[in-house]
Amino acid sequence: MTRSPNIVWHKARVTRPRRETLNGHRSINLWFTGLSGSGKSTLAHAIEERLHLMGCRTYVFDGDNVRHGLCGDLGFSPEDRQENLRRIAEMVKLFLDAGIIALTAFISPLRKDRNMARDIIGQENFMEIYCNCPIEICEQRDVKGMYKKAKAGLIKNYTGISSPYEPPQNPDIEVLTGSRSLEDCVQDIVEALFQKGIIMRSGY
């Protein structure tokens, strides 16, 4: 619900379908969720690289990058996490209207918050990708030692340690990022985009 009075949404003459036709692909949101260290950002950027080489227009919204600017005023309380995702979802909605494939790499630990993002972005525009990786492997990958600090009580509200993570119950795609290679995971997701008609095989 907007708090700004007396505003009306302006309908552009250049529509999303026209932009998609110009781009040669449909726009979609690939929403990567998983524990810290599960490979969300690595996978999102690898897929963006693959799609870019195919001539697709893309953008990755990375959790840390977004908190440097758009969400720099937010912490990691449940309320701030929810607002962080709400802002991202609204931004993604604009990028989809621009005809862009938007990739979002956020822990997004709670189902209700991911459902909120899905509602904002639109069910038909939202592909939930669960990066399923055992927490033991995530800890091994943690070069910053964040899990260790969280276990020592130095970091509060750390997902998987002092804050819950609720795995998706019915993700659009589940990738086993703890056991499968990055290339295999990329291929699985790109193939899903072919199958859904988001991108065309002629560009591959």
DSSP state of 144: T
Q: What is the Cα 170 distance to its own chain's centre?
A: 16
Per the annotation, the verdict on 108 as an active-site residue is yes
CA nearest 39: which of 121, 133, 115? Answer: 133
Question: Of 77, 108, 179, 181, which is the active-site residue?
Answer: 108
Cα–Cα distance, 107 to 131 (Å, whole number): 10
Token pair listed for 111: 């189902």
**Burial (CB count <10 Å: 0-12, 13-18, 19+), residue 3:** exposed
Report, as residue numbers or ranges, the catalytic residues: 108
